[in-house]
Amino acid sequence: MRQSKMLVPTLKENPSDADIASHQLLVRAGYIRQLASGIYTLLPLGKRVLSKIEKVIREEMDRSGAQEMLLSALQPAELWQESGRWYTYGPELMRMNDRHNREFALGATHEEAMTSIIRDEIGSYKKLPMTLYQIQNKFRDEKRPRFGLLRGREFLMKDAYSFNESYESLDESYQMMFDAYCRIFERLGLNYRAVIADSGAMGGKETHEFMVLSDVGEDVIAYSDTSKYAANVEMAPVVQTYEKSAETPLEKEKVATPDQKTMQEVADYLDHGLDQGLKSIMFEVDDKYVLVVTRGDHEVNDVKVKNLYDAKVVELASEEDTKRLMGAGFGSLGPIDAPEEVEVVADHAVEAMVNITCGANDEGFHYKNVTPGNDFAPDRYADMRFIEEGDPSPDGKGIIQFARGIEVGHVFKLGSFYAENMGATFLDNSGKSQTMVMGSYGIGVSRTLAAMVEQFHDDQGIVWPNQVAPYQVHVLSLNPKKEEQRVLADKIYADLLAEGLEVLYDDRPERAGVKFADSDLIGIPVRIIVGKKAGEEIVEMKRRDSDSKEELSYDSVVEEIKNQLA
Amino acid sequence: MRQSKMLVPTLKENPSDADIASHQLLVRAGYIRQLASGIYTLLPLGKRVLSKIEKVIREEMDRSGAQEMLLSALQPAELWQESGRWYTYGPELMRMNDRHNREFALGATHEEAMTSIIRDEIGSYKKLPMTLYQIQNKFRDEKRPRFGLLRGREFLMKDAYSFNESYESLDESYQMMFDAYCRIFERLGLNYRAVIADSGAMGGKETHEFMVLSDVGEDVIAYSDTSKYAANVEMAPVVQTYEKSAETPLEKEKVATPDQKTMQEVADYLDHGLDQGLKSIMFEVDDKYVLVVTRGDHEVNDVKVKNLYDAKVVELASEEDTKRLMGAGFGSLGPIDAPEEVEVVADHAVEAMVNITCGANDEGFHYKNVTPGNDFAPDRYADMRFIEEGDPSPDGKGIIQFARGIEVGHVFKLGSFYAENMGATFLDNSGKSQTMVMGSYGIGVSRTLAAMVEQFHDDQGIVWPNQVAPYQVHVLSLNPKKEEQRVLADKIYADLLAEGLEVLYDDRPERAGVKFADSDLIGIPVRIIVGKKAGEEIVEMKRRDSDSKEELSYDSVVEEIKNQLA
């Protein structure tokens, strides 16, 4: 394509509303424009990259045996009422009325629509398992759309749904999708982790998020420095490697700690380390109260509280409650003499401690020389803390590191939530009616595009890998007013097209500096520069991902470019 | 794909709401399902065909130099207010509010969104002309959605927009799109006509509709039996071939025609043919009154009235108005002694008539032996009637025939309506600010799919041409319980896949009759039947578009199928 005729509106300055590289560069390099808050137009360059990402996804989905469909964005409210999500989804679900005043949702996901089809069309175990997918626009009315394509209100998604006759079968479908996702993100060249995630409130069991590592990610993940292990930081179990302290337990002693409010203040006041104190936090877990105690330098993990009690809701207890039940406010809580209606659960690390400090449940007082087991016995010990960098990896391989991640994919064992609510049943091989089991599997396609820019850019612009670059070769004629430059560039452009290569040809009457800057912004892998030596039929070749340039004679251009792209 | 594992829910009976073949067959053969009125899910087979149609469209759009983009469905109301369509589009435009109560439209088309981008990004004649397109879902809240994919509320469309510096440039862009559309519909194998159409109220000048000939079409087109000429029936000019009657004009005579209300009744009463009478119809044309007279056997064409006066609104005058102005009701109107405030325009055919009958503007009376020119002189003669079958073709080649058509494409010279309302200007080569000129070009992608079924089906089901068939080969194993049939069919299936062919493999444990019926319904071009002679490695081959069958030995299957598909 001749750049002079293409819609590639590059900008010199970063747009004022763009805080992260992908948002800045996609706008500046002419890939996207915002139409309204969180709503973007893919310009020709952006659409080309998006289509290439789609193609990779489609190929791997097809290879996995999933069947492509195309569902509508408009979905009758009745479907969402059947699943219950009409009432629980909140304002993120975009709703509207048609001319007959019937209510519709714009699909945020398609569990309901897909389940209704399968419920109506599939009645026998013989047709199961079946995995169906589509690549289609989704609508979510985000409260604060931001980061360009990373969090928009209308965005392209690949969503897939498996329908299974059993949980064992779901395990298999899940694994097939998991493997397909790995192939997809590997083919895209992304540095990603498949991360064990929280299955949340959907009733599902197992779930992985596919995270592209990036400092702008909204989630923190804990991963092993040597294995594939990765988990959302709140999901990683802590390996128990504590050894009981050899110290001789002393008599516990109540001491005044006037005006010492934080753990750190108390430790300093009593002149010991944070790890010699006990952190005590009270939670309201559904309808009971739980006092969680950890070592002072550890953080209580509320997801672990929730999972330990298989609870629906976990909240910090109010200070009013702690005073009423424990006799003290937040700063002076401790496990000693906790009342019966408060369950005490201690992290495994606590069991190894001797002669430590804890709150005395008396405003302004602490106990010192407390030894768990001697001075109090928790109702149970469990893994209650957040994993930390430097902890051993839960898979036994390597050491935990932290990184931020952008969620680009999600595989999820839904279980029978939708099938039950919507009556999706089948006859098993003994003729008995059973409820289907489902999985759902999503990839944010436009988000993946943005995530790729986060991983593939430098200070000058985007640095696309070949497999998704909008074009493979960027031909620059530095001064097309000079006959010999124009003629040679035209010839090379035609040659490369004839070879079936995708070529962007900067034939614009712009200064060389503008062309170089735009070319760096746009980020096409290989660049051919037709300049002063055009009369000798000599051009320069430069890869976008390297600083070195190479002179080539016209005759060798096609072959050399093929080498570079191979 | 193994049919046993594929979502192909075939039905024996036509769905009760389906009146036309494409709707019936696409549902029965398992290509589509309705989710809500006018809203359809493309099942795997349907999506495969849709993708192939998309691919043809995309290739030809790219070849024409158009650039693909992807716009959003959600569009802020402000854009539609700028163009004015927010107020004029009516209830077909789907509207909604977001969580901040801002108004949005769901894109019915994308003139506004596209114009806003070009307005913001293109400022110089150097970038023009530019044609941009997308393939994307459109939303129109049809009052009566019907005919399955032919008239839905959410549907896939290819829409393109050209931005031009002049009307001459628009002519070129228009022609490029016109040619691309011809290539698309030819590649799809459709029997279509590019039909001259009414440019309607949009201020545009030239427009063609691409019509697939079909009895279920909603429009009537007039086309030449020997040339490419075709027009919407109201748009076709009538070639003037009338010769003045040689009869000697007689004295006009006023006669009573009591209770004779219609043209036919008056003609019978006065004992002459319909073509010896004059039809007189009064219109309100913007703010003036026009009496249109045609030969009694001709139909007045109100689009020609509108175009003759370049009018915004043309309506039949009320009987009250005709009585007040002409002194008589509808049945007795005539051009003789029409008052000055009523303009009389006569069709060219009238000028050739002698001694004819017309209303006397006196209830229950007609004149006979009237001769135009002698007894009245119309303000002007013009082409005022509908073309008829048997008329000469306006291009001078052949005779006009009528057919019904399904509109699958539309090319339209928009002019500067949007650019003016939205301020899309550019600097011309003398540095002067000019308003852009635009064209818009649409193809109903999902509608084209349905139109193809209308042209490619028989009583048993769909008969796909190779280029869009969901699969190229349908392998049927008639009794997979028999080891030798299953093994041979498996082998053939694997062989064909290895050759890169698209194969649907009916491996279901169903009766042979069910398999044949489903295969006819689905309509894959070539069928391989593995049956009783499987032990001898002999199979049958049958084309879907022919009744003859052929026995093949296993060895020759791959080659023979390649021949069939070549």
Mean pLDDT of all residues in B444-467: 98
Half-sphere exposure at residue B520, Cβ-oriented, CA atoms within 13 angstroms: 13
In chain A, which residue's Cα lies nearest the Cα of B72? Answer: A41
- A126: which chain B residues are within 8 Å (Cβ-Cβ)? 4, 509
pLDDT at B203 over 60: no
The number of angstroms, rounded, from the C-alpha of A56 to the middle of its chain's C-alpha atoms is 19
Q: ipTM of this complex > 0.90? A: yes
| Class of the CATH domain delimited by B253-382 | alpha beta
Measured CA to CA, the distance from residue B444 to residue B448 in angstroms comes to 6
Chain B: give the shortest CA distance to residue A30, in Å.
Answer: 10
| Residue A351 structure tokens | 């069991």
Is B7 within 8 Å of A132 when comparing Cβ atoms?
yes
State the pLDDT at residue B206. 85
| Residue A440 structure tokens | 């759902």
Q: What is the CATH number of domain B473-565?
A: 3.40.50.800
| Residue B64 structure tokens | 């024409």
pLDDT in tens, A426-438: 999 999 999 999 9
Q: Which residues of A, range 425-484, sit inside 8 Å of B by Cβ?
A: none
Is B127 within 8 Å of A76 when comparing Cβ atoms?
no
Is A35 within 8 Å of B94 when comparing Cβ atoms?
no
Chain A: give the shortest CA distance to residue B505, in Å.
Answer: 14
Is B95 within 8 Å of A91 when comparing Cβ atoms?
no
- B75: which chain A residues are within 8 Å (Cβ-Cβ)? 35-36
Half-sphere exposure at residue A122, Cβ-oriented, CA atoms within 13 angstroms: 33
Answer whether A101 touches B (CB < 8 Å). Answer: no
State the pLDDT at residue A443. 98
Q: Of all residues in chain B, what percent carry a pLDDT higher than 90?
A: 93
pLDDT in tens, B533-552: 999 999 999 999 999 999 99
Answer whether B77 touches A (CB < 8 Å). Answer: no
State the pLDDT at residue B26. 98
Chain B: give the shortest CA distance to residue A316, in Å.
Answer: 30
Mean pLDDT of all residues in A151-164: 97
Q: What is the CATH number of domain B49-237+402-453?
A: 3.30.930.10
pLDDT in tens, A39-87: 999 999 999 999 999 999 999 999 999 999 999 999 999 999 999 999 9
Q: Which residues of B, range 103-122, sit inside 8 Å of A by Cβ?
A: 104, 106, 113, 116-118, 120-122
State the pLDDT at residue A200. 61
The number of angstroms, rounded, from the C-alpha of B191 to the middle of its chain's C-alpha atoms is 12
Question: Which of A37, A40, A47, A429 to mutate against chain B (most B CBs within 10 Å)?
Answer: A47
The residues pairing with B95 across neighbouring beta strands, listed in sequence order, are B105
State the pLDDT at residue B49. 98
| Residue B151 structure tokens | 């008239």
Q: What is the CATH number of domain A471-565?
A: 3.40.50.800
Measured CA to CA, the distance from residue A445 to residue A409 in angstroms comes to 9
Identify which of B292, B289, B307 has the alpha carbon closest to the alpha carbon of residue B378: B292
pLDDT at B503 over 60: yes
Chain B: give the shortest CA distance to residue A211, in Å.
Answer: 26
In chain B, which residue's Cα lies nearest the Cα of A127? Answer: B5
Cβ–Cβ pairs < 8 A, chains A and B: 166
Is B73 within 8 Å of A73 when comparing Cβ atoms?
yes
Between helix A483-498 and helix A557-565 the angle, nearest 10°, is 50
pLDDT at B200 over 80: no
Is A70 within 8 Å of B91 when comparing Cβ atoms?
no
Is B67 within 8 Å of A6 when comparing Cβ atoms?
yes
List the domain boundaries for chain A.
13-237+402-453, 253-382, 471-565
In chain A, which residue's Cα lies nearest the Cα of B121? Answer: A9
What string of DSSP letters covers B437-501? EEEEEEEEHHHHHHHHHHHSEETTEE---TTT-S-SEEEEES-TTSHHHHHHHHHHHHHHHHTT-
Identify which of B434, B453, B482, B480 has the alpha carbon closest to the alpha carbon of residue B123: B434
What string of DSSP letters covers A374-439? TTB--SEEE--B---TTSBPTTSSSBEEEEEEEEEEEEEEEETHHHHHHT-EEE-TTS-EEE-EEE
* Greatest alpha-carbon span in chain A: 96
Choose among A73, A117, A122: nearest Cβ to B33. Answer: A117
Give the torsion sign (CA, B180, B183, B187, B193). positive
- B94: which chain A residues are within 8 Å (Cβ-Cβ)? 96, 98
Q: Of all residues in chain B, what percent carry a pLDDT higher than 70?
A: 99
State the pLDDT at residue B204. 56
- B44: which chain A residues are within 8 Å (Cβ-Cβ)? 67-69, 132
In eight-state DSSP terms, residue B54 is: H
Answer whether A295 touches B (CB < 8 Å). Answer: no
State the pLDDT at residue A204. 56
In chain B, which residue's Cα lies nearest the Cα of A112? Answer: B35
pLDDT in tens, A310-322: 898 999 999 999 9
Chain B: give the shortest CA distance to residue A269, in Å.
Answer: 51
At residue A39, the 3 state secondary structure works out as strand
Pick the CATH number of A13-237+402-453 from 3.60.15.10, 3.30.930.10, 2.40.10.350, 3.20.20.120: 3.30.930.10
